[in-house]
Amino acid sequence: MLYLVGLGLSDVKDITVRGLEVVKGAKRVYLEAYTSILMAADVSSLEEFYGREVIVADRELVESGSDQILEGAGKDDIVMLVVGDPFGATTHTDLMLRARELEIKTDVVHNASVMNAVGACGVQLYNFGQTVSLVFFTENWRPDSFYDKIMENRRLGLHTLLLLDIKVKEQSLENMARGRLIYEPPRYMDIRTAAEQLLEIEEKREEKCYTPETPCIAISRLGSPTQKFAAATLAEMAEYDSGEPLHSLVILGNRIHELESDYFMQWAINESTLKSALVEDGKLHK
């Protein structure tokens, strides 16, 4: 059987009891290592905790080497460990579909992910709209498809969770062109970069999806002992030092329940500025 096992958000001990039992009894254990990272653990600490080998599965192996991962899964248990919850990325759905094509049984052990733990910032999960990903801009590539999804959410008064880019085991265009297996250092988008890119696209589109005064919540190292929240305007976020990764950003909708504002106001960088921004944003998007 193929098992997808969620690891949670931070520590080796965030795995569920059932997930740990599955790992200990499996023939092979892979760790999907490019859509996210465990903030307080690495492969060696996982191996020490599990008492067994963990095979790192990079992007190439997960997306192109599914046959290698699934080899023998018809008679033995194979595990793919996933940071957060197994269905937090479409890659894992693809692997499940491939297993089904090969008539391999599958099972999933769920865990906490940013998609539900984001509620810790103070806004209610049922008030979120579409989640969007924000990628690093390059000199020649500055995609803005996320803008329309944020606009749809904002028109409905819903919050938007932005998942910020992670670059792990990426190659430069030159190295790819020359066929050289040389990888760039890992990069993790911070809140400041995300805010700058958002403001750049608003300046380009000029559709007032959001403004420099739009209220937001920055989320850093969610689920870890050093997790941190900050509530401020988008312009203030462009000056905010969010520290070590990982980071996410919430653009607030204009239908803020007072229980939400009462809760997230404790994270305010400037309480009076934030209160004014909430009032003005409500007027702009009515």
Residue 144 Cα distances to 98, 148, 199, 236, angstroms: 32, 8, 11, 21
- Give 264's Cβ-side CA count (13 Å radius): 27
Torsion of the alpha carbons at 247, 252, 257 and 261, rounded to the nearest 10: 60
- Which stretches of 165-227 are assigned E, i.e. beta strand? 166-167, 187-188, 215-220
Other CB atoms within a 10 A radius of the CB of residue 228 amount to 15
Is 285 annotated as belonging to a binding site?
Answer: no
Which domains does the chain show, CATH number per domain?
2-112 (3.40.1010.10), 115-282 (3.30.950.10)
pLDDT band at residue 60 using 50, 70 and 90 as cut-offs:
confident
Does the global pTM surpass 0.85? yes
Is 114 annotated as belonging to a binding site?
Answer: yes
Is 88 annotated as belonging to a binding site?
Answer: yes
Instruction: Average the pLDDT over 260-283 and give the result.
Output: 93
Instruction: Average the pLDDT over 137-154 and give the result.
Output: 95
Q: Is 173 helix (H, G, I), strand (E, B) or coil?
A: helix
Is 62 annotated as belonging to a binding site?
Answer: no
Per-chain mean pLDDT for the chain: 91
Is 54 annotated as belonging to a binding site?
Answer: no
Q: 85-90: long-range contacts (C-beta < 8 A, 24 or more apart)?
A: 85/6, 85/110, 85/111, 85/112, 85/113, 85/115, 85/116, 86/4, 86/5, 86/6, 86/110, 86/111, 87/4, 88/35, 88/36, 88/113, 88/114, 88/115, 89/35, 89/36
Size of the chain in residues: 286
In tens, the pLDDT along 168-226 reads: 766 555 655 666 666 667 899 999 999 999 999 999 999 999 999 999 999 999 999 99
